[in-house]
Chain A
Amino acid sequence: MDLTYSEEYAAFRDEVRAFLAQHGHESPPPFQRGRPDAQAVAWQQKLIEHGYAARTIPKQYGGYGAAPDILQSHIITEEFARANARMGHNGDNRLVPTVLELGTEEQKAWLVPPSVRGEMNWCQGYSEPGSGSDLASLSTRAELDGDEWVINGQKIWTSGAQHADMMFCLVRTEPDAPKHNGISYLIFSMDTPGIDVRPLVTMTGEAIFNEVFFTDVRVPKEQIIGRRGEGWFVANNTLKHERGGLGDPNEAETRFNDIVGIMQRESIDGQRLIDNPVLRDRLLTLQGRMLAMKYNGMRVLSEYIKGQEPGMARWIVKLQGCELNHQMAAMAIDALGELGVLYDDSPHLRDEGRWQQRYMLDLGLIIGGGTAQIQKNMIGERALGLPKEPKLNTKQG
């Protein structure tokens, strides 16, 4: 157990801090929906030049070209959070690693540099109305007609489709093959004729998801990542990258501290919320859970640095992290009492109505990216070695 940073890393931290002290004011706000604006694109460019964005993406594809160093990445994340600066990005955390790993040379040169600059924005076409947890049963189909794929079908839960330039999409290309072997991974412009994006308003009142309809959408034959029929394995590669981002323990600690702030500021009947013993005990219980996830995160990070596979400590992060965030939103709402239900731009609103939004959005995160129940199947089957549920014999009756 060594919680100190070596001189080399301490110097790196100083360097990041000095950069942020000098340039931090050029940063756009930390979070923003929609397409990156000119300020965001300029900021990303500056970060790449200094090695704080697209750090490990090769120079020839528009990145900084450093060797992977998990601890340096961790230091960058910590310092940017401390400075409240916008983190740099890697183009798209699902698409770009997939193209770099499995794409052709032409695809890498075409797709990665503009993605990394923030000029080519992506959306993911995986889920369908009939294929959620059982994603491999998807039925949007693509048929080869001369030199083009012709796509027909529908996707759902497509975040950011209304702002995206491009989609990476799973389609069924071999309808007679077993379900996992009949899928291909296609990429195409969202401007292609025949694509219809319809916003899907959720319970928060906003449309962060969309439904996307395809009617005879024609895509050049070579716009496929990996080989025909191997899309499922390409996609699993992408999902692996996405799961890494959910349930971040640093975010949980920041949220927890925000709740402590509310409970120290707000009072009911002249009593500060934190002086109510029942609320306080609930707060402390959440702190225990948060600390466990925080140190579990440090353990996972250390094991990655040492080149070890963290195993169970890693498998549980999405399930536990999303649940913890949701419980924290619930705690904040309950502590605020009647004020906790205010929304939109209501008078007396607290924290811009953030806690109600999170309470609803976080439930979406418990469901999305592999539901809690799918997570438990994976923990049970892959980490604990319990047998899979036997398949129903669907040929019967």
Chain B
Amino acid sequence: MDFGLSEEQRMLQDSVTGYLAAHCELQVVRDAAESAEAQVPALAAGLMELGVTGILIPGEYGGVNMGGLEAALVAEALGYFAAPVAYVASSVMAPLALQRAGSPAQKEEWLPQLAAGECVAGVGVTEQIGRRQGDGVQASGGRLSGEALFVLDVDGADLFFLADQQGLLYVVAAADVEITRLRTIDRTRSVAAISMQDTPAQVLPGSSESPQALHECIAMGRVMLAADTLGAAQKMLDDSVAYAKERKQFERVIGSFQAVKHMCAEMAAELEPCRALVWYAAHAQSAVPADAQLMACQTKAHLAEVGRMVARTATEVHGGMGMTDLLGLHYWFKRIGVNRQLLGAPELVREEAAQVQGWC
């Protein structure tokens, strides 16, 4: 019995964190956010060298063949640095979908490219978790029509993995679709609406036999977003504590006032248990199938709530400066805000958790 990280997992965490600390300083985040694309190629290339793009991909396809927990540690590090790179869709959800539902030929074609960072894949599953009014994605005769909303990791994408209204997964080429970029509050990651009209598409054959692959893919994506929030919130807490030790008013550092000290303590008290929650949820995705969906829903929802509390409180600890573009704290505030809504907002995923447990 050992509930914690192994030596190898700590090494992975250290190497990704170390790389990002050296190469993803605030100016990189700011430049990406102010440019047209949220994907910084140099950063993506560096992370690829560390195995990030092949984190879930088996060795035979050129990946490093790790599990959900390792993938979550990477997501946490990316959140900590608000890293402007594709990850949740391109390196986690798409490779997982291919492995669970792809044909041998599809795996052979795309997994090595994804692992090597030669290909970026966006993922759009809104049809299955938050379908809106209007035209959804419909399949007919091996072609897709309609619009997929909120497709993730769009910048630089060559492929899109899209769910249709029936819950089948398809792959379409980026060159064949119309991409309408959506501007969210968070400019460190890219989302778009994808429109299609009789667009050639390949179905992932496993997805027509069972919805299991789609469910696993969504659950894993949710855990990654929760881990991203964990990292982003930890960064905001660390910044708050550092600021409270430095900023003086009334001839004292503000962290010596209980009002400010208690705000920091409350953030820490809410956030710290989230670490173990994320670890277990991520571990369950690979190792405890019976708990996987429930843990993904509850972890996504809980991190959304704690993330919001930390984002708001940390901004307040910084006073007026917390609101400014100059300080840059807002990049993390916004990243946490977007994570909360993607792949199911808290009320929606809690309801799913109730269903999983047979409570409704």
Q: Which residues of A contact B (CB under 8 A)?
A: 1-6, 9, 71, 260, 264, 274-275, 277, 280-281, 283-285, 287-289, 291-293, 295-296, 298-299, 301-303, 305-306, 312-313, 315-316, 319-320, 373, 375-377, 379-381, 383-390
Which candidate, B77-85, B91-99, B260-268, is the interface stretch facing chain A?
A: B260-268
Q: Is B224 an interface residue (CB 8 A)?
A: no
How many Å from the CB of A317 to the closest CB on chain B? 9
Interface of chain A: mostly helix, strand, loop or mixed: helix
Contacts of B2 in A (CB 8 A): 1-2, 302, 305-306
- Which residue of B255, B305, B347, B351 contacts A387 across the interface (Cβ within 8 Å)? B255
Interface of chain B: mostly helix, strand, loop or mixed: helix
Q: Is the CB of B350 within 8 A of A281?
A: yes
Q: Is the CB of B3 within 8 A of A380?
A: no
Q: Is the CB of B301 within 8 A of A316?
A: no
Name B304's closest neighbour in chain A (CB-CB): A288
Q: Which residues of B contact A (CB under 8 A)?
A: 1-6, 69, 241, 244-245, 252-253, 255-258, 261-262, 264-266, 268-270, 272-277, 279-280, 283, 287-288, 295, 298-299, 301-302, 305, 346-347, 350-351, 353-354, 359-360
A291 to B273, CA, bound (A): 9
A175 to B270, CA, bound (A): 42
- Which residue of B268, B270, B273, B275 contacts A384 across the interface (Cβ within 8 Å)? B268
Q: Which 8 A-B pairs have the closest CB atoms?
A: A288-B302, A295-B276, A296-B273, A380-B261, A376-B265, A292-B273, A284-B350, A379-B265
- Which residue of B258, B266, B287, B305 contacts A288 across the interface (Cβ within 8 Å)? B305
7 contacts between A and B (CB under 8 A): A1-B69, A264-B359, A275-B360, A292-B273, A376-B262, A377-B258, A380-B265
Contacts of A287 in B (CB 8 A): 298, 353
Contacts of A380 in B (CB 8 A): 255, 261-262, 264-265
A149 to B266, CA, bound (A): 44
Contacts of A375 in B (CB 8 A): 265
A195 to B172, CA, bound (A): 84
Q: Is the CB of A1 within 8 A of B283?
A: yes
Name B347's closest neighbour in chain A (CB-CB): A281
Q: Is the CB of A303 within 8 A of B302?
A: no
Q: Is the CB of A313 within 8 A of B268?
A: no
How many Å from the CB of A365 to the closest CB on chain B? 16
Q: Is the CB of B360 within 8 A of A280?
A: yes
- Contacts A274-B360, A295-B280, A301-B3 given; indicate if A390 touches B256 (C-beta within 8 A): yes
Q: Is the CB of B350 within 8 A of A288?
A: yes
Q: Is the CB of B241 within 8 A of A386?
A: yes
A284 to B304, CA, bound (A): 14
Q: Is the CB of A320 within 8 A of B353?
A: no
- Which residue of A283, A284, A387 contacts B301 across the interface (Cβ within 8 Å)? A284
- Which residue of A260, A283, A381 contacts B261 across the interface (Cβ within 8 Å)? A381
Contacts of A71 in B (CB 8 A): 1
Chain B CB within 10 Å, residue with most, of A2, A9, A288, A377? A288
Contacts of B283 in A (CB 8 A): 1, 3
- Contacts A2-B1, A379-B269 given; indicate if A292 touches B276 (C-beta within 8 A): yes
A64 to B145, CA, bound (A): 73
Q: Is the CB of B279 within 8 A of A389?
A: no
How many Å from the CB of A107 to the closest CB on chain B? 37
How many Å from the CB of B309 to the closest CB on chain A? 12
Q: Is the CB of B265 within 8 A of A296?
A: no
